[in-house]
Structure 1
Amino acid sequence: MRHTISALVENKFGVLARVAGMFSGRGFNIDTLNVGPTHDPKYSRITITLRAQEHALDMAIKQLDRLINVIDITHFGQRNAFVARELVMLKVSASGDTRSKVIEVCDIFRAKVIDVTPVAIIIECTGNENKIRAFLELITPFGILELARTGNVALLRGAPAETEED
């Protein structure tokens, strides 16, 4: 089963390596890993998506919670309402005769054309995993030259007090 976990951590040297190493050292293959500073530069948010059995993942999360520099952990799951998004940037082959068709697909998915050359277009698309997958399925026949993805970032919906269990 696929899981999304977010860890609020101190923005210090080596924290990312310890968090990723904790999962990989326990045999988890990380599907996506995204990290960046929060609104407070003292902290970063690490978002990890991986496939794991519930019991094994629960044990790993408990061990993650014991790591120094880990402030808070959120396991986004069926019990929690959350919003997740991913960014994909891709360069697509688009000569004069196919360019309008590529732009048409972009319009359907509200993707943005961010650069144009005579032979290629660079596109940015954001959305949930299903939207990104569907977009890539339709754009692939035009010829993807390069692709970069961020992986998921996620936040719980509502105020923090609404999400705490009693």
Structure 2
Amino acid sequence: MLHTLAALVENHPGVLARVAGLFARRAYNIDSLSVCQTENPELSRMTIVVNGDDQIIEQVRNQLNKLVAVHTVMDLTEESIVDRELALVRVKVSAETRSEVLQIVDVFRGRVVDMGRSNITVEITGDSEKLDAFVNSISPYGLVELVRTGKIAIMRSEA
């Protein structure tokens, strides 16, 4: 099962390497990793997606909490969250297929950010399932290049 972990860490060089090293030493694969500075410039937030059962995730959380540079670690998997990814997708187009591709982009609420004679580049945001569905829909036209960010997530506000 995929788990989404949010770690608040010190914003210093080497912290990312120590966190990633912890996963590597224990042979856990990171499916997605996104890091950014928070509203406090001394702290960064890591959103880490890792595959494992509850016991493995609990062990990972405990190990992360032992690192000096880590302030808190939360498992957001069972929480009510808002999550997003960003993808840039370059698709092959021709005079005959350009309008069809643009219709698919519109259905998925994507945005064309670059257009050439033989391809277009689309920016699309959403959850992982939306991005996967877009890629599957657009692939028959000729996927030239695909770049995706890692997942970012935040807890939903209380009503």
TM-score bracket, normalised by the shorter chain, equals over 0.9
What are the residue-to-residue correspondences of 1:66-81 with 2, within 5 Å?
66-78=66-78, 80-81=79-80
Structure 2 CA distance, aligned partners of 1:77 and 1:49? 9
The aligned runs of 1:55-66 (5 Å cut-off) are: 55-66=55-66
Amino acid at match of 1:102: V
Correspondence for 1:119: 118
3-state SS of paired residue (2:96): helix
CA distance in 2, matches of 1:148, 1:56: 29
1:12-51 pair list within 5 angstroms = 12-51=12-51
Runs of 4+ in 1 over 3 A off after TM superposition: none
State the distance in 2 between where 1:66 and 1:23 align.
13
Per-residue deviation, 1:77: 1.7
Shift of 1:41: 2.2
How many Å separate the matches in 2 of 1:102 and 1:42? 44
Q: What SS does the aligned partner of 2:130 have?
A: helix
C-alpha distance in 2, partners of 1:75/1:25? 21
Q: Deviations over 1:62-110 (max 9, x none)?
A: 11011111122121122x1111111110111112211111110011010
TM-superposition CA deviations, 1:8-45 (whole Å, max 9, x none): 11110100011111112112111111112123322211
**Partner of residue 149, structure 2:** 150
Q: Name the CA distance, whole Å, in 1 between partners of 2:72 and 2:112.
A: 37
Name the residue aligned to 2:94.
95
Could you state the TM-score of these two structures normalised by the residue count of structure 2? 0.95
Take 2:10 and 2:36, find their aligned partners in 1: how far apart are those partners?
A: 11
> Following the alignment from structure 1 to structure 2, what is the Cα–Cα distance between the partners of residues 93 and 37?
36
Q: Which residue of 2 aligns with 1:109?
A: 108
Identity %: 41
Give the aligned CA root-mean-square deviation in angstroms.
1.3
Report the secondary structure of 1:68's partner residue: coil
- Find the aligned partners of 2:152 and 2:83 in 1 and give their Cα distance: 6
What is the identity, as a one-letter code, of the residue corresponding to 2:45? R
1:134 and 2:133 correspond: yes
With the length of structure 1 as denominator, give the TM-score of the two structures.
0.91
Unaligned runs of 5+ in 1: none
Question: Which one-letter code corresponds to 1:10 in the other structure?
Answer: E
